[in-house]
Amino acid sequence: MTSTACKNCPLRNRTLFTPFTDDELVFMQSFKTGELKVDPGTTILLEGSTSPQLFTVLSGMGTRYTTLENGRRQVINFLFPGDFTGLQAGLMGEMRHSVEATTDMTLCVFRRDDMWNLFRQHPGRAYDLTWIAAVEEHFLGETIASLGQRDAIQRIAWALVRIHERLKAAGLHKDNRVPLPFRQQDLADALGLSLVHTNKTLKAIRAMGLAHWSGGHLELKKITALADLAMIDLERPQQRPLM
């Protein structure tokens, strides 16, 4: 199977991601061992496993979740192109959550054991890993604040704005529409809402003329008003490292 050369990576030219130096590009090509293509529903990383691999999402989308003792699933967040996953097992010995493909996905594959070469040979790239971990911590903090302080319509407005702007910055937009192939149940799980409440709230947001999510696509018709409803500032996602 042909693997995409790092110099030809379609994500590199997206304004969301910081540019590579020539040395970083050479190293990342040596760090990458290949690509993995998976179908929707495939488990990429399993909670409790000790995966020898790390991944960057080249295309497609996935879901991070953990399974509770009663068998119910708690969605942590979603995986989008450019996201790096598997670091948890690399540092803690095993995964504390699972990752499942929501759509067809292509992932760049890296050897977990080679991560230490990253720290030794390219401290700048190693710092990027720290940055990625810090951003995930910040996002989880914002999620907790949403669960604790926002009501249902504010939570959903917050999620739609954040997801839309992240996908738009990754170049996955056409006019005001972005692909959003998840189920309403996935969004409900992520926001601590019932499916019925989520469905009613999405209908209310649509009736207000703010957003429309159907057929696997999300269209924000009045993004400023939706951000005001969510009680957040409308700002472009911060430029981020691409591993």
Helix (H, G, I), strand (E, B) or coil at 140: helix
Is pLDDT above 70 for 96? yes
Confidence (pTM): 0.85
Six-digit token string for 83: 């996201």
Per DSSP, what are the bridge partners of residue 96? Answer: none
**pLDDT computed for residue 184 by the predictor:** 95
Task: Evaluate whether 60 touches 106 at the Cβ level (below 8 Å).
Answer: yes
* Domain spanning 6-140: CATH 2.60.120.10: yes
CA gap 71, 50 in Å, rounded: 21
The more confidently predicted of residues 180 and 69 is: 180
Residue-wise pLDDT tens digits, 3-16: 888 888 889 888 88
CATH class of 152-230: mainly alpha
Q: What is the pLDDT of residue 187?
A: 92
For position 147, what pLDDT does the model report? Answer: 62
What's the number of CA atoms in the CB half-sphere (13 Å) around residue 125? 23
pLDDT at residue 139, rounded to an integer: 59
d(CA 52, CA 110) in angstroms, rounded, equals 9
Beta pairing partners, 64: 77, 99
By the 10 Å C-beta count (0-12 exposed, 13-18 middle, 19+ buried), 180 is classed as buried
Distances in Å between the alpha carbon of 117 and those of 72, 123, 218?
Answer: 39, 9, 41
Question: pLDDT tens, 39-90?
Answer: 999 999 888 777 778 899 999 999 998 887 787 788 888 999 999 887 765 5
Q: What is the pLDDT of residues 120-176, one digit of tens each?
A: 777 777 777 777 776 665 556 566 666 666 788 999 999 999 899 889 988 898 888
Which three-class secondary structure state does DSSP give residue 148?
helix
Q: What is the pLDDT of residue 105?
A: 97
- The pLDDT, as a whole number, for residue 97 is 79
Among 144-158, 175-189, 227-241, whose mean pLDDT is lowest? Answer: 144-158
The domain segmentation of the chain, as residue ranges, is 6-140, 152-230
